[in-house]
Structure 1
Amino acid sequence: MGHPDFNAMTSAVFRADPYPILAELRESEGVVPLNPGVMPSWHVLRYADVQKVLLSPELFSSNRALQGEGELAEANLSFLFNNMISATGDKHRRLRMIGNRVFMPKFIESFRPALAQVVAAQMARALQGHEFDLVEEFSAQITVAMITRVLGLPLADMPQIRRWTAVLGDNSGASTWLAALDPEMVERGRLTGLEMTAYFREYLRERQANPREGDLISAFASVEVEGERLSESEVLSMVMLLLLAGNETTTNLITNFVRLLDAFPEQAARLRADPELTNPAVEETIRLRNSIRNIDRFALEDVELSGVTIPKGGLVVVWLSAANRDPSVFEAPDAFRPDRTANRHLGFGLGMHMCLGAALARMEVQLAARAILEQTALVELTAPPVVAQNANFDNITRQMARFHPR
């Protein structure tokens, strides 16, 4: 049962390449009970089972309050989840309606010209022929410039924002994988939460006094649905969550698109010959290397999946990355196929909690990918990647590269 290296935080083998282990467990077990951490957990790996969990909120809750309070809640970043990701029932409906009202297609499209300028500037730097860090000197430059613009924050705060998201990424899911919580890690997470809350509270109160047109903090502070507005804590939680999702995950997707061009040179040549395949290539990147590999739910009653009974109250970890490579759904699941049809990936989740910022993330990755395909003859990865400390995300912290212009 299980696999000795199935641990997203303590196994160097899993962190370096989790996909063979996930595939082995998906085919042999489907649902893996695991108890290496503070909390026992049940890991769901098959597409049909993942789909059932995400589409059955009456059986599997996203409510983070079910994990308890205190140090455990701090370790699992509870301050980030006073929003629709953790909400259920009428509260979720209200928050989602407000979120949808803010994230109208017109609002997303209004950022396209600014995004095009950011991508053009980063491409100009990358095409100068020198070696650069693909993560921090290219991908993150695009995504943080955009998320600060979307939120209405100073670009000068970018280094601090990157530090915060790094801490939150390292801490994510710690109670699932670690037998004992590292006090220093918990304290770093707690202090980061306090710093972020204070930072955004200052901006929120300024926007409440002097609202601006076209930034999310102002929009979330002022939007009203059915006579209700978001509370201060809800606005803060929504904005901090979007900061993390809109920064780290989109950075990972741009980086992973480039890494796939390197890993699949025949497909890279095909894409350069036909850039109209860019958008489906981005969807294939999201399927094959989606940024958030797993998400949590809590069983509201005893539930059986793939012959395994998950008890009421059990922590359920659904592996989007494993489902996205399920051979029962995707032909040649480990191959990068930009022309894959009916790409029903779960990279942005599914159901009532599907990612609110998916359209913005897609636009960012599509514009960056199109520019890379049209302006480079070759992307060269000049050193091995530096793998992140937490394999709950498909990310690396450093990847030296060189872009060769056409």
Structure 2
Amino acid sequence: MRPLGAPRFSGNLPSMMHLDFNAMTSPTFRQNPYPVLAALQANPGVVHLSPGLVESWHILRYDDVRHVLLTPEVFSSNRALQAQGDFADANLGFLFNNMISATGDRHRRLRMIGNRVFMPKFIESFRPAVETVVEERMEMALSGEEFDLVEDFAARITVAMITAILGLPLADMEQIRRWTAVLGDNSGASTWLSEIDPSMARRGRETGEELTAYFKDHLEHRRKHPREGDLISAFSSVEVDGQKLSEGEVLSMAMLLLLAGNETTTNLITNFVRLLDAFPDQAARLRAYPDMTQGAVEETIRMRNSIRNIDRFALEETTLSGVTIPKGGLVVVWLTAANRDPGQFDAPDDFRPDRTPNRHLGFGQGLHLCLGAPLARMETQIAARAILERTRAIDLTQPAELGINANFDNVIRQMVRFHAK
């Protein structure tokens, strides 16, 4: 009999890999998941795993991942297909009544509204604000003092921008960071944990309720004091087929952008600096040729994409890499494994800013391609170029402190010192 909490696998797995393949309980996986993912990608490619409250099928090869993302008629994003009750509480399902979970006509309507609001002209209108906050953070960073790359630099840039774009008070930044940290810790709990910690679930639920109440208050204030130039106002006014977003949809879209736009870009900026440290020859090359910044950011997204996996639900029985996935099965799609598939990328563990082509899946693909990808790219490129042009070296003065949930590529603290040119 399988002991409670012990992982169960189907297929012939590499020796010991199964013990470390857990995003929430394995310190080894949290520290460095890539050797485990590479071994499982090579054999068997699709992993049937049951360490948690629900069974799951993990997709690791580039072609399989891309197939899942481009076949929504078979692999649905609708979280309502997962069991409710304790599972929904554990995974904070009530926060995701948005484009991530929407399908069919509802997704089409939400996506059309999102596309109309998130026009390139709208994103570009924030470029001067990004440049201003990056300049302010660079002045702090170049003082010669040790500082936290995450909270003192990257998060200050991304939260300043996402609050501006949503029309939220910058003074709420610290509270917003606390909320997003709690919600990130809970993500995927039912997939990986055989028992849900009641206190963790309670913190997640309370945080979600606090975040919802915060946005409801803000939306009510905006109704009484309308303004232009932010996403909440735009989401409240744009129509598709004569329909506007409901209050619940506006709230959910705003929370999606807050959570995704805050953590993901913070992680990208942080991981860009850590890759400079890990690949000093490429760092020297980029400082000599800062026009390569755009390619370096794309390579950062490929190698260290912030969201390592996303969920889908099989609408019918199907087979991938010789493994049968039953109707209703939870499918965990590993973007970060696909982005290092040697069948798609030469020397996938090397940081190559001039990699061409670079068809990474860091922002997903298909109908659910990340709506905020242009904003994340713009922020990261501006920050990265400033770092390359104004530093001659960066010292990581202490080991990184990693987040507790390896479903994300996130560092919660990285002490550094920037050396000015």
TM bin, normalised by shorter chain, reads over 0.9
Shift of 1:208: 2.3
- Does residue 199 in structure 1 map to residue 214 in structure 2? yes
Give distance in 2, aligned partners of 1:52 and 1:182. 35
Residue 310 of structure 2: which of 291, 295, 299 is its match? 295
Give distance in 2, aligned partners of 1:18 and 1:77. 25
| Counterpart for residue 271 of structure 1 | 286
Shift of 1:225: 1.4
- Does residue 324 in structure 1 map to residue 334 in structure 2? no
> CA-to-partner distance for each residue in 1:271-329, whole Å, 9 max, x for gaps?
00000000010000000000000000000011100000000000000000000000010
The two structures have a TM-score, normalised by structure 2, of 0.96
Give distance in 1, aligned partners of 2:95 and 2:309. 17
Shift of 1:162: 0.4
Give distance in 1, aligned partners of 2:236 and 2:202. 30
- Does residue 334 in structure 1 map to residue 380 in structure 2? no
Taking only aligned residues, the RMSD between alpha carbons, in angstroms, comes to 0.7
| Counterpart for residue 39 of structure 1 | 54
| Counterpart for residue 26 of structure 1 | 41
Amino acid at match of 1:45: L
Residue 129 of structure 2: which of 106, 114, 117 is its match? 114
Shift of 1:211: 2.0
| Counterpart for residue 102 of structure 1 | 117
**SS of residue paired to 2:333:** strand
Give distance in 2, aligned partners of 1:211 and 1:369. 35
Amino acid at match of 1:169: G
Query: Aligned pairs, how many?
Result: 406
- Does residue 142 in structure 1 map to residue 194 in structure 2? no
**SS of residue paired to 2:407:** coil
Give distance in 1, aligned partners of 2:226 and 2:98. 22
For structure 2, list consecutive stretches of 5 or more residues without a partner in the other structure: 1-11
| Counterpart for residue 245 of structure 1 | 260
Shift of 1:370: 0.3
| Counterpart for residue 187 of structure 1 | 202
Shift of 1:84: 1.1
**SS of residue paired to 1:331:** coil
Amino acid at match of 2:69: L
**SS of residue paired to 1:22:** helix
| Counterpart for residue 347 of structure 1 | 362
Percent identity (aligned): 73
- Does residue 154 in structure 1 map to residue 169 in structure 2? yes
> CA-to-partner distance for each residue in 1:200-258, whole Å, 9 max, x for gaps?
00111222232211111111111111111101111111100110111011000000000
| Counterpart for residue 365 of structure 1 | 380
> CA-to-partner distance for each residue in 1:99-154, whole Å, 9 max, x for gaps?
00110001000000011000000000000000011111111011011111111111
> CA-to-partner distance for each residue in 1:316-345, whole Å, 9 max, x for gaps?
000000000000100000000000011000
Shift of 1:267: 0.2
| Counterpart for residue 400 of structure 1 | 415
- Does residue 66 in structure 1 map to residue 81 in structure 2? yes
Shift of 1:77: 1.6
Q: Is the 8 A contact 1:79 1:237 kept in 2?
A: no
Q: Is the 8 A contact 1:207 1:221 kept in 2?
A: no
| Counterpart for residue 132 of structure 1 | 147
- Does residue 77 in structure 1 map to residue 92 in structure 2? yes
Give distance in 1, aligned partners of 2:195 and 2:172. 34
Give distance in 2, aligned partners of 1:228 and 1:274. 49
| Counterpart for residue 324 of structure 2 | 309
Q: Is the 8 A contact 1:211 1:218 kept in 2?
A: yes
Give distance in 2, aligned partners of 1:93 and 1:224. 13
Q: Is the 8 A contact 1:9 1:177 kept in 2?
A: yes
Give distance in 2, aligned partners of 1:289 and 1:183. 31
**SS of residue paired to 1:138:** helix
For structure 1, list consecutive stretches of 5 or more residues without a partner in the other structure: none
